[in-house]
């Protein structure tokens, strides 16, 4: 581990309230997994050299997952011990508090940890690259329970292993198994015992994390497998509806690789993945028992960097091939492409306080962008110089701080005005 102090910067970082998020769910891609972060008072333009660096931590383990910040600690997963995924906790000066091996990593292509921990009320919920699901005490790092969900429920991983971040709903966590037996299982948060199983529509699990939405006053889990988009009743695991996505995926390469969490707005669901799979928009009927295709868009085929919805427009990057992509804006209602522009290559995107944050995956350039349906309005940029490997971890924002992970290095930037 390597820690770097920058005068008063560390003191500023430590000022994050130790009670911040303590009674909330802190999870992958912010509010409802939408890529939105509830932050205000952020800089609308960065210094020419980039925002002030508050902290660098090296040795967090190889990975592409996001960190989460809660109870005055930074929690992050990483591949540290050969083929074992490890969850680590750091204080706000970058000092390691504890690290806990919790499951087998994926051992084939891209084995680095992919699963962002989910935090609630002093506990962390994680999944490993081979489908072990567990609960860990946030204060001590002690494993409270651990379940081999893929093995126990005869799940089926896709070609690059596990990438799902666990979803908390009331007193349970839900996990997509895929396979011929089940689509998803719900486990008690307290001890990992089974609550319900959702029947299978066939096919392996995909990489997209599930999301919980409220449709017409009714909660729905939106889950994706390699073959289907499904709506599941969180009360009992009833499969409300399913829609086959593979029918739109004509290329053999990347087939079934649903990668991004679904977005829900105004009784409609948007899903996208790379490999020339067209982005698709679905309308859910009033009774929540079927969905209908509304439109397809071949341009916004986001690889795995996520998409955000801002003022009726979708923003993200597309897939030209595995090393190249452009940035795109699409109208939510019509599916019309408003613009498609080049800026380095494809990458991940989040939104906070009226601005977009772009993190391109090849060279590590970061951009602060004003959302606009007219064109790509870049305000400021800087480059991440630390770390190795592709820049695949999505950025995240907590208490006026921008957290960016590149491989084994975590960097924290001051972006408060």
Q: What are the tens digits of pLDDT across the range 201-215? A: 999 999 999 999 999
Q: Is 293 helix (H, G, I), strand (E, B) or coil?
A: strand
Indicate if the pLDDT at residue 417 is higher than 50.
yes
Does residue 147 surpass a pLDDT of 60?
yes
- The pLDDT, as a whole number, for residue 18 is 35
Is the predicted pLDDT of residue 17 greater than 60, yes or no?
Answer: no
**The pLDDT value given to residue 109:** 86
State residue 330's pLDDT score: 98
- The DSSP bridge partners found for residue 136 are 124, 143
What pLDDT is stored for residue 23 in this prediction?
A: 47
Residue 8 has pLDDT above 50, yes or no: no
Range of weakest confidence among 101-115, 117-131, 360-374: 101-115
pLDDT tens for each residue of 237-256: 999 999 999 999 877 778 88
Q: Is 121 left (phi over 0), alpha (psi -120 to 50) or beta?
A: left
Query: What DSSP assignment string belongs to 193-206?
Result: -EEEEEEP-SS-B-
Cα separation of 397 and 403, whole Å? 6
Query: Average per-residue pLDDT in the chain?
Result: 93
Q: According to the model, what pLDDT value does residue 7 have?
A: 39
pLDDT tens sequence across 63-113: 999 999 999 999 999 998 789 999 999 999 999 999 999 999 998 888 999
For position 81, what pLDDT does the model report?
77
3-state secondary structure 206-269: CCCCCEEEEECCEEEEEEEECCEEEEECCCCCCEEEEEECHHHCCCCCCCCCCCCCCEEECCEE
Contacts of 287 (CB under 8 A, 6+ apart): none
pLDDT at 254: 82
pLDDT of residue 249: 87
Spatial contact of 156 and 178, defined as CB atoms under 8 Å apart: yes
For the whole model, what pTM was predicted?
Answer: 0.94
Paired strand residues for 57: 3, 410
| Domains of the chain, each with CATH number or no CATH | 2-414 (2.130.10.10)
**pLDDT at position 349, please?**
98
Residue 176 has pLDDT above 90, yes or no: yes
Buried b (16+ CB within 10 A) or exposed e, 95-105: eeebbbebbbb
What string of DSSP letters covers 336-378? -EEEEE-SSS-EEEEEETTEEEEEETTT-EEEEEE--SSS-EE
19-73 confidence digits (pLDDT tens): 343 348 999 999 999 999 999 999 999 999 999 999 999 999 999 999 999 999 9
Average pLDDT over residues 119-147: 97
The conformation of residue 116, written as its DSSP 8-state character, comes to P
Contact 41, 390 (CB under 8 A): no
pLDDT tens digits, one per residue of 310-355? 999 999 999 999 999 999 999 999 999 999 999 999 999 999 999 9
The CA distance from 214 to 110, in Å, is 35
pLDDT at residue 82, rounded to an integer: 84
Residue 204's pLDDT is what?
A: 95
Q: Are 291 and 239 in contact (CB under 8 A)?
A: no
Specify the pLDDT at position 16: 41
Residue 263 CA to residue 309 CA, distance in Å, equals 8
Local structure of 13: helix, strand or coil = helix
**Which has the closest alpha carbon to 357: 8, 21, 42?**
42
Contact 307, 330 (CB under 8 A): no
With 80 as the cut, is the pLDDT of residue 10 above it?
no
* pLDDT at res. 19: 34
Highest mean pLDDT among 10-19, 78-87, 283-292, 383-392: 383-392
CA angle (394, 34, 203) in 5-degree steps: 85
- Residue 21 pLDDT: 36
């Amino acid at each position: 581990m390597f820690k770097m102090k920058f005068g008063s910067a560390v003191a500023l970082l430590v000022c994050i309230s130790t009670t911040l998020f303590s009674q909330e769910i802190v999870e992958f891609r912010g509010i409802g997994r939408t890529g939105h972060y509830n932050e205000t008072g952020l800089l609308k333009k960065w210094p020419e050299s980039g925002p002030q660096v508050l902290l660098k931590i090296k040795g967090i383990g190889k990975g592409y997952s996001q960190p989460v910040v809660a109870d005055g600690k930074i929690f992050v997963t990483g591949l540290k011990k050969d083929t074992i995924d490890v969850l680590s906790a750091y204080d706000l000066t970058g000092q390691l508090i504890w690290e806990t091996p919790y499951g087998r990593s994926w051992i084939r292509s891209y084995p680095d940890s992919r699963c962002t921990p989910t935090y609630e009320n002093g506990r962390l919920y994680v999944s490993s690259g081979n489908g072990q699901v567990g609960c860990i005490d946030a204060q001590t790092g002690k494993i409270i329970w651990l379940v081999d969900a893929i093995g126990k429920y005869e799940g089926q991983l896709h070609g690059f292993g596990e990438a799902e971040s666990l979803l908390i709903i009331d007193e349970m966590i839900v996990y997509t198994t895929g396979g011929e037996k089940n689509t998803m299982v719900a486990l008690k948060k307290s001890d990992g015992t089974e609550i319900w199983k959702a029947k299978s529509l066939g096919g392996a699990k995909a990489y997209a994390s599930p999301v919980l939405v409220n449709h017409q006053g009714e909660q729905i889990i939106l889950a994706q497998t390699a073959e289907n988009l499904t709506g599941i009743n969180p009360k009992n695991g009833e499969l409300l509806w399913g829609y086959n996505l593979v029918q739109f995926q004509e290329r053999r390469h990347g087939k079934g690789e649903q990668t991004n969490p679904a977005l829900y707005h105004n009784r409609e669901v948007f899903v996208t993945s790379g490999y020339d799979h067209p982005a698709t928009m679905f309308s859910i009927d009033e009774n929540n028992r079927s969905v209908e295709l509304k439109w397809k868009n071949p341009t916004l085929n986001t690889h795995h960097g996520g998409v955000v919805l801002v003022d009726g427009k979708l923003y993200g990057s597309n897939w030209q091939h595995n090393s190249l992509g452009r940035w795109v804006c699409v109208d939510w209602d019509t599916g019309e492409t408003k613009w498609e522009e080049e800026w380095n290559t494809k990458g991940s995107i989040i939104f906070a306080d009226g601005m977009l944050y772009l993190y391109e995956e090849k060279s590590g350039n970061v951009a602060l962008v004003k959302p606009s349906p007219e064109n790509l309005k870049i305000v400021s940029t800087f480059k991440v110089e630390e770390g190795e490997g592709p820049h695949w971890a999505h950025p995240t924002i907590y208490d006026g701080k921008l957290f960016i992970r590149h491989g084994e290095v975590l960097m924290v930037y001051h972006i408060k005005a």
